[in-house]
Amino acid sequence: MASTEGPAGTPVAGRVFGIIGYPLEHTLSPIIQNAAFRAAGLDWVYAAFEVPPGEGARALEAMRVLGLGGLSVTIPHKESVLSAVDSLSPVAEAIQAVNTVSWSAEGSELVGDNTDVRGFVQGLNSSLGISLEGRSVVVIGAGGAARAVVWGAVENGARKITVVARTPSRAASVVESIAYSIRPRAHTPSLEAASMDPSLLREVCETADLLVNATPAGSDGKTIPVPADAIHRGLYVYDLVYFPPRTPLVEAGAGSGAGAAGGLEMLIHQGARQFEIWSGVRAPIEAMRLAAGEAISAAL
Ligand code: NAP
pLDDT of residue 187: 76
In DSSP notation, 188-217 reads --EEEEEE--HHHHHHHHHT-SEEEE-SST
The closest-lying atom of ligand 1 relative to the alpha carbon of residue 196 is 20
**Higher local confidence (pLDDT), 247 or 9:** 247
Contact 116, 271 (CB under 8 A): no
Q: Which of 4-13, 98-107, 154-163, 246-255 has the lowest mean pLDDT?
A: 4-13
- Distance from the alpha carbon of residue 144 to the mean position of ligand 1, in angstroms: 8
Distance of CA 275 to the CA centre of its chain: 14
Contacts of 275 (CB under 8 A, 6+ apart): 33, 36, 40, 283, 288
Active-site amino acid positions? 78
CB of 212 closer than 6 A to ligand 1?
no
pLDDT in tens, 141-197: 999 999 999 999 999 999 999 999 999 999 999 999 999 988 777 678 999 999 999
CB of 262 closer than 6 A to ligand 1?
no
The closest-lying atom of ligand 1 relative to the alpha carbon of residue 165 is 9
- Distance from the alpha carbon of residue 32 to the mean position of ligand 1, in angstroms: 21
Q: Where does the pLDDT of residue 1 fall: very low under 50, low under 70, confident under 90, or very high at 90 and above? A: low
Q: Where does the pLDDT of residue 13 fall: very low under 50, low under 70, confident under 90, or very high at 90 and above? A: low
Closest CA to 20 of 53, 44, 66, 42: 53
CB of 219 closer than 6 A to ligand 1?
yes
- Distance from the alpha carbon of residue 208 to the mean position of ligand 1, in angstroms: 21
Contact 213, 242 (CB under 8 A): no
Is residue 88 predicted with pLDDT exceeding 90? yes
CB of 241 closer than 6 A to ligand 1?
yes
CB of 142 closer than 6 A to ligand 1?
yes
pLDDT of residue 8: 54
pLDDT in tens, 212-263: 999 999 999 999 999 999 999 999 999 999 999 999 999 999 999 999 999 9
Mean pLDDT of 105-112: 94
Is residue 4 predicted with pLDDT exceeding 80? no
Contact 101, 63 (CB under 8 A): yes
pTM of the full structure: 0.94
Mean pLDDT of the chain: 94
Q: Is 283 helix (H, G, I), strand (E, B) or coil?
A: coil
pLDDT of residue 248: 98
